[in-house]
Amino acid sequence: MSLVSDTTERSLESYRITRSRRNVAWTGAGALVVVVVLALFPYIVYSGTTTIMLQGFIVLTLASMWNLLAGYAGLVSVGQQAFVGLGAYFVLIFAIHGVSPFAALPVAAIGCGVAALPLWWLVSRLRTGYFAIATWVLAATVMLIIERFSSIGGGTGMPLPGLSGFTGTLLTAYTYWIGLAVTVIALATMYILLRGRLGLVLTAIRDDEVAARSSGARVGLARMLVYVVAGVGCGAAGGVLAISQLQVQPGAVFSIQWTAEMAFAAIIGGLGTIEGPILGTAVYMVLQQTLQSYNAWYLIVLGLVAMAVVLIARRGLWGLVDDHLHVRLFPVGYWLWTGERGRRRGERAKGPRHRLD
């Protein structure tokens, strides 16, 4: 076959595989600088700004989780609001029993991860489309069950205790910092997971599930792990939400709006890359701030843009950036260098690099 002859022609050229195109240490240093600068915000800017930033952190965490689910594991879940709500309520429950909400947050997040296991068991056998709606039904069910308990506010919700000892500015600052911490941890976790074995398995599944299974990849386990991690992440975001709003209302924390926002931000930014949600969240924040006075408009525009992205610019905004600049801030793929002269038939004539991810 012609493929054989093509390859043998170039067998003398060397092949090299690297994880990234440029030195990743630069990105690491850059990220550190960004985080430090962000951490200093409460000292530099008004609390109005930090509140907006906090909202951005929540959406970014959520969008990253949705990206992990849909962009990497192929799981379109429209029921992640269940974990947002559970995270908020776990924090509330701990706070009612005297634990500081800030201390309760990590435990609440882990609790959501544990809760994700039975939920996964319920829906994992369903195929894509029905999986999606089932997650929605599950979220609605969780909300209805929680509303039964008047001790945590019933159907109307209740304020979050345990934060009255803080002054206004200090509370805003602490909330901001914990929001920042959650976001950083979420992104870092994604990077580490996807760079390692899980990332390989997920890419294999994405390319060809049958082949992945037959070569030993634990497809079901990988997906479950992703679902649990997403549960933890969304739960953490829900906890931050509870703290930032100082109250927990079922209708607010279990709202489908959260899923809509995280999905649209992830889609617009670009599914399948870690950088995508960052860009998408930025777009979301800009839209939300500019259209704020027009109520539901920002969600309408967001939804329309997301639909357009999915149909046309499939890899989202980051995909456009990536296509032109070949940049990865969080390198989790591989580059194949085939030498300056080699060029396989059908490849774009731009350079000898072939992305393998």
Positions touching another protein (CB under 8 A) are: 1-3, 70, 74, 76, 78, 122-123, 125-126, 128-130, 132-134, 136-138, 140-141, 144-145, 147-148, 155, 256, 260, 263-264, 267, 294-297, 299-300, 302-304, 306-307, 310-311, 314, 344-346
> Could you tell me if residue 273 is left (phi over 0), alpha (psi between -120 and 50 degrees) or otherwise beta?
beta
**48 or 118: whose CB is closer to another protein?**
118
Identify whether the C-beta of residue 54 lies closer than 8 Å to the C-beta of residue 240.
yes
The residue (of 106 and 155) whose beta carbon lies closer to another protein is 155
**What is the rounded distance in angstroms from the CA atom of residue 253 to the CA atom of residue 269?**
24
For residue 156, the minimal CB distance to another protein (Å) is: 13
Q: CB of 111: closest distance to another protein in angstroms?
A: 21
Least Å distance, CB 151 to another protein, is: 16
> Do the Cβ atoms of 206 and 223 come closer than 8 Å?
no
CB 30, CB 160: distance < 8 Å? no
Q: Is 40 exposed, middle or buried (0-12, 13-18, 19+ CB in 10 A)?
A: exposed
Nearest approach in angstroms of CB 288 to another protein is 13
- Following DSSP, what letter does each residue of 50-109 receive, concatenated? HHHHHHHHHHHHHHHHHIIIIIIS----S-THHHHHHHHHHHHHHHHTT--HHHHHHHHH
H or E element, residue 11: none
Q: Which amino acid is at 19?
A: R
Closer residue to another protein in complex, CB, 40/300:
300
Amino acid residing at 213: R
Phi first, then psi, for residue 250 (nearest 5°) are -60, -45
Smallest separation, CB 296 to another protein (Å): 4
Closest contact distance (angstroms) between CB of 121 and another protein is 8
Q: Which is nearer to another protein, 109 or 139 (CB)?
A: 139
Q: Specify the residue, 36 or 312, whose C-beta has the smaller distance to another protein.
A: 312
Residue 78 or 204 with smaller CB distance to another protein:
78
